[in-house]
Amino acid sequence: MQNSGINVLFEGSNFERLLGGLLVTMEIAFISIVIGTVLGIVMGLLRTLKSGPIRFVLRLYLETFRIIPILVWLYVVYFGFTPLLNVNISGELTAIIVFSLWGAAEIGDIVRGALESLPKHQVESGQALGLTYRQLYRHVLIPQAVRRMLPGSINLATRMIKTTSLVVLIGVVEVVKVGQQIIELGVIKAPAASFWVYGFIFILYFLVCYPLSRLSKRFERKWQN
Amino acid sequence: MNLDWEFIVESLPLYGEAMWLTLKIAFWAILFSLIVGLLCSIVLYYKVKGISGIIVAYTELSRNTPLLVQLYFLYYGFTKMGLHMSEMTCAIVGMTFLGGGYMTEAFRGGIEAVSKTQMESGVSLGLSKVQLARYVILPQAFAISVPSLGANAIFLLKETSIVGAIALLDVMNVAKDLIGMYYKTAESLILLVLAYLVLLLPLSILLTWVERKVRYAEFGD
pLDDT of residue A125: 87
Size of interface A-B (CB pairs under 8 A): 107
Q: Is A68 an interface residue toward B (CB < 8 Å)?
A: yes
Query: Considering the domain boundaries, does residue A129 fall inside one?
Result: yes
Q: Which residues of A touch B188 (CB under 8 A)?
A: 79
Instruction: Give the tens place of pLDDT for each residue, A74-130.
Output: 999 998 887 777 788 888 899 999 999 999 999 999 988 888 888 888 888 888 888
- Best A63, A102, A165, A175 member to test B by mutation, with max B CBs in 10 Å, is A165
Confidence of residue A36 (pLDDT cuts 50, 70, 90): very high
Confidence of residue B220 (pLDDT cuts 50, 70, 90): very low
Query: Considering the domain boundaries, does residue A41 fall inside one?
Result: yes
Domain that holds residue A144: 6-224
Contact A195 B80 (CB under 8 A): yes
pLDDT of residue A210: 93
Query: Structurally, how many domains does chain A consist of?
Result: 1
Maximum mean pLDDT: which of A41-55, A83-97, B56-70, B174-188: B56-70
Query: Considering the domain boundaries, does residue A27 fall inside one?
Result: yes
The DSSP secondary structure of chain B, one letter per residue, reads ----HHHHHHHHHHHHHHHHHHHHHHHHHHHHHHHHHHHHHHHHHHT-TTHHHHHHHHHHHHHSS-HHHHHHIIIIIHHHTT----HHHHHHHHHHHHHHHHHHHHHHHHHHHS-HHHHHHHHHTT--HHHIIIIIIHHHHHHHHHHHHHHHHHHHHHHGGGGGGGT---HHHHHHHHHHHH--HHHHHHHHHHHHHHHHHHHHHHHHHHHHHHHHHHH--
The whole-number average pLDDT for the span A160-188 is 85
Domains and CATH numbers, chain B: 5-219 (1.10.3720.10)
The share of chain B scoring above pLDDT 70, in percent, equals: 96
- Tell me the residues of chain B between 148 and 187 that have a Cβ less than 8 Å away from chain A: 158-159, 161-162, 165, 172, 175-176, 179, 185-186
Contact A71 B161 (CB under 8 A): yes
pLDDT of residue A51: 79
Query: Considering the domain boundaries, does residue A220 fall inside one?
Result: yes
Mean pLDDT of chain A: 86
Query: Considering the domain boundaries, does residue A39 fall inside one?
Result: yes
Confidence of residue B1 (pLDDT cuts 50, 70, 90): low
pLDDT of residue B216: 63
| Residue of chain A minimizing CA distance to B162 | A71
pLDDT of residue B217: 59
Here the ipTM equals 0.84
Q: Is B19 an interface residue toward A (CB < 8 Å)?
A: no
The alpha-carbon gap from A57 to the nearest alpha carbon of chain B, in Å, equals 18
Contact B64 A210 (CB under 8 A): yes
The alpha-carbon gap from B131 to the nearest alpha carbon of chain A, in Å, equals 31
Query: Considering the domain boundaries, does residue A182 fall inside one?
Result: yes
Q: Cβ(A195)–Cβ(B78) under 8 Å?
A: yes
The whole-number average pLDDT for the span B103-120 is 88
- Best B64, B76, B155 member to test A by mutation, with max A CBs in 10 Å, is B64
Report the phi/psi class of residue A221: left, alpha or beta, with left for phi > 0 and alpha for psi in -120 to 50: alpha
Q: Is A171 an interface residue toward B (CB < 8 Å)?
A: no
Query: Considering the domain boundaries, does residue A214 fall inside one?
Result: yes
Q: Residue A23: give its domain's CATH number.
A: 1.10.3720.10
The alpha-carbon gap from A123 to the nearest alpha carbon of chain B, in Å, equals 29
Contact A202 B159 (CB under 8 A): no
Query: Considering the domain boundaries, does residue A1 fall inside one?
Result: no
The whole-number average pLDDT for the span B125-151 is 87
Higher pLDDT, A223 or B120: B120
pLDDT of residue A1: 42
